[in-house]
Amino acid sequence: MTSPSDSSSATSAAVVRVIVAKPGLDGHDRGAKVVARALRDAGMEVIYTGLHQTPEQIVEAAIQEDADAIGLSVLSGAHLTLFARVVELLKERDAGDILVFGGGIIPADDIPQLEGLGVARIFTPGATTHEIVDWVRENVTPA
């Protein structure tokens, strides 16, 4: 015999919700789309915000969509500014529990600074989609 709470937990398993975003003026989104599809194919709910998003738009989307994580793809060289602004806005909006990770063309020397800002993980060129999916599964807890 099952209790009502047993049946509801079986039918409503929490799913990780991820915003995948391309902040700034960078117009190359193939990698972001590949990662978004890999996360989706792994059973996660993925919202791709499209090109040329401001940090404000990304954070607003994450809050509205009740996202568990934000994955940023930055190829433009503005990674320090863009990641920092997203993390700052999340804190200002009392949404600091939304995990931020990302990738792109980011020099290895900048990764410790990004981590110091609160970015959970940076994936550099050559990272596999399997590696990214596994990391998200291990580090992002659905709400």
Q: Does domain 16-137 have CATH number 3.40.50.10490?
A: no
pLDDT tens digits for range 47-95: 999 999 999 999 999 999 999 999 999 999 999 999 999 999 999 999 9
| Tokens coding 128 | 């596999």
Give yes or no for residue 99 having a pLDDT over 70: yes
Q: Tell me, what's the pLDDT at 12?
A: 58
| Tokens coding 6 | 């047993």
Is 139 in contact with 18 (CB distance < 8 Å)? no
Q: Is 92 exposed, middle or buried (0-12, 13-18, 19+ CB in 10 A)?
A: exposed
pLDDT tens digits for range 120-138: 999 999 999 999 999 999 9
Measured CA distances, 30 to 6, 35, 49, 74 (Å): 42, 9, 13, 12
pLDDT tens digits for range 4-37: 444 444 445 799 999 999 999 988 999 999 999 9
The domain spans of the chain are 16-137
